[in-house]
Amino acid sequence: MVVLLGGIGMACYAGWRWLQTGQSDSALIAEVVTPWLAADARAWLARPNAWFGAHRLAAWVLQIPVFALVTFVGFLLLLVSVGDRRDR
């Protein structure tokens, strides 16, 4: 529940900042993940020479805002925990 509420809070803050400035300044997954990737992976993201479909998928995922990922993961964790309680 904390992860879900954290993601929603991040989304609200990003929306509030967008309403103030008219520009989205929320962090993208690419900004968080790319520095941690190996040099080969960063080179493949910049100029793929194979696996073009996987590159399109990765490029699409990397353009998702972090708050959306956090909210989605929190929702999935909440679903898993509710399902676990029903089994008892």
pTM above 0.85, yes or no: no
Q: pLDDT for 6-27, tens place per residue?
A: 999 999 999 999 999 999 888 9
CA distance 32 to 35: 7
Alpha-carbon span 77 to 88, nearest angstrom: 17
Task: Count Cβ atoms below 10 Å from residue 21 Cβ, excluding itself.
Answer: 9
- What pLDDT is attached to residue 21? 93
Query: What's the average model confidence in pLDDT over 66-78?
Result: 95
Structure tokens at 31: 């900004």
3-state secondary structure string across 38-69? CHHHHHHHHCCCCCHHHHHHHHHHHCCEHHHH
Q: Is 51 exposed, middle or buried (0-12, 13-18, 19+ CB in 10 A)?
A: exposed
